[in-house]
Structure 1
């Protein structure tokens, strides 16, 4: 498995993204891990008031390693190598927080989105536990440089993989892979079981119900407790790329970190390998999904 890296050099990170590609595409599936990057730019480490461990609280730690066998089943895996605390690609490019910048933002900036107000815009102001990342204000130039170096390569690669799948198979099925804090999977009511997975399809708008049910049935067959769209219905990626009528389907998967991670130490537990084996089986079963009905009318012509 790939090892952690620690970029102590200067901006930008060595590489922004990596695509693990199959020898031959055999399925319309595309897997993506936007928040598991562990290559921390020196610029972030120097300018943050937090240490590296605190910054890592925002990671979907090691989620990419849960799905890195995707190419074995004929599907690519796209993973961001930069950390979410640096740039969050599951946000609109315009979701910028004016409180973070010493100078003005362009009129196109979406400063009123709920995510920006919460401090979790495309350039995050806080980490997952609510601590401020910076002790000083940034400049808009900093944001533009980060977006060009990290955000744009990720979305260029993602769009390219989706377009390739749709051109080859008549449709594309994006599985957007995330993890959630164990507190997010706590029972909503006393006595209810812990939530292990949350599947998000933007309340039915980002992917076909048949895909949703197929994944849900596999996960419940493993014995996991699966929730639908609560507390996570899917973010910017699901809402922007999921266009079922055009043959592009996006399903967000949130995995409870208690299944595989010591959240205090940010270290894999003994549960990691068991979960990884189940995710390999999930990918294998997904390749048998009959996607004929998912093709858009335009692609079928």
Structure 2
């Protein structure tokens, strides 16, 4: 991996000694390094601004390198720039000057305050004290968003070249109060495959079965089917599969204090077993297999 692609203070790749399985693990929302200028521009305190983090998800999936897969993880916070969006989903209400003509300002995510440069953290809480120059947003995209995706693309391409196919697992967390619409059921995990377009059904079903065998309640696609990363990198017909895994935060963190719960280590251990199981599931496949072609 060419380290000139990024500043290691912003994100890093934790590599296995040798990549032995066709997986790339990605934790784009667990970053928790907040620079002083950003904090000073915010109306939120040091705890409030962390509400949109996928708290400690990088640690929950930290066994990936030992199991033979690279783990890409963000150090920059999601509230600063969100790499699980299109590159230019920009909200004109945030800036003192006009956004570029190529910006997508009409997406549902922008309308909800959760564009590439988020306007809010969770619960519709505004981040900024005042509007700021759009050049600042574009700088974040150039110096963080684009290098992050260049790195992720390189990891996926390397994996595909080595094994003939590849599986991206995009790792996230969700609020503890999430319920499956119409049922009232609170899932422990949601496996998203963009309704079958980003990964094979066999792969999604295997992920759900493995989680349920570990004693968790897992559902598929509702209410989270996968974001930009899952949609953008999942190309099953080309042997590239992408799954989004959402972990219920109530399983492992106090959502008020953001302190880890006593069961944190046990959950991380279960996810290590899950990752091993996923690797075993695809062990018999090649680039010409039914999985890669589905």
Q: TM-score, normalised by structure 1?
A: 0.91
* 1:62 Cα deviation after fit: 0.2
Specify every segment of 5 or more residues in structure 2 that has no aligned partner in the other structure, as ranges: 1-5
For 1:86 and 1:219, locate their aligned partners in 2 and report how far apart those are by CA, in whole Å: 32
* Runs of 4+ residues deviating >6 angstroms: none
Instruction: Name the counterpart of 2:15.
Output: 21
**Which of 181, 202, 210 is 1:210 aligned to?**
202
* 1:144 Cα deviation after fit: 1.3
For residues 76-155 of structure 1, what are the structure 2 equivalents within 5 Å?
A: 76-155=70-149
Asked if the contact 2:25–2:64 (Cα under 8 Å) also holds between the matched residues in 1, the reply is: yes
Cα distance, 1:13–1:27 mapped onto 2, change above 3 Å: closer
Asked if the contact 1:105–1:140 (Cα under 8 Å) also holds between the matched residues in 2, the reply is: yes
**Which of 60, 66, 71 is 2:60 aligned to?**
66
**Which of 260, 266, 283 is 1:268 aligned to?**
260
Residues matched between the structures, number? 286
* 1:293 Cα deviation after fit: 4.5
SS at match of 1:214: helix
Q: TM-score, normalised by structure 2?
A: 0.93
**Which of 270, 288, 291 is 1:278 aligned to?**
270
**Which of 221, 225, 240 is 1:248 aligned to?**
240
* 1:193 Cα deviation after fit: 3.9
Asked if the contact 2:180–2:222 (Cα under 8 Å) also holds between the matched residues in 1, the reply is: no
Instruction: Name the counterpart of 1:46.
Output: 40
For 2:181 and 2:239, locate their aligned partners in 1 and report how far apart those are by CA, in whole Å: 35
For 2:226 and 2:180, locate their aligned partners in 1 and report how far apart those are by CA, in whole Å: 20
* 1:289 Cα deviation after fit: 2.0
For 1:61 and 1:206, locate their aligned partners in 2 and report how far apart those are by CA, in whole Å: 25
Specify every segment of 5 or more residues in structure 1 that has no aligned partner in the other structure, as ranges: 1-11
Instruction: Name the counterpart of 1:194.
Output: 186
For residues 220-231 of structure 1, what are the structure 2 equivalents within 5 Å?
A: 220-231=212-223
Instruction: Name the counterpart of 2:165.
Output: 171
Asked if the contact 1:241–1:250 (Cα under 8 Å) also holds between the matched residues in 2, the reply is: yes
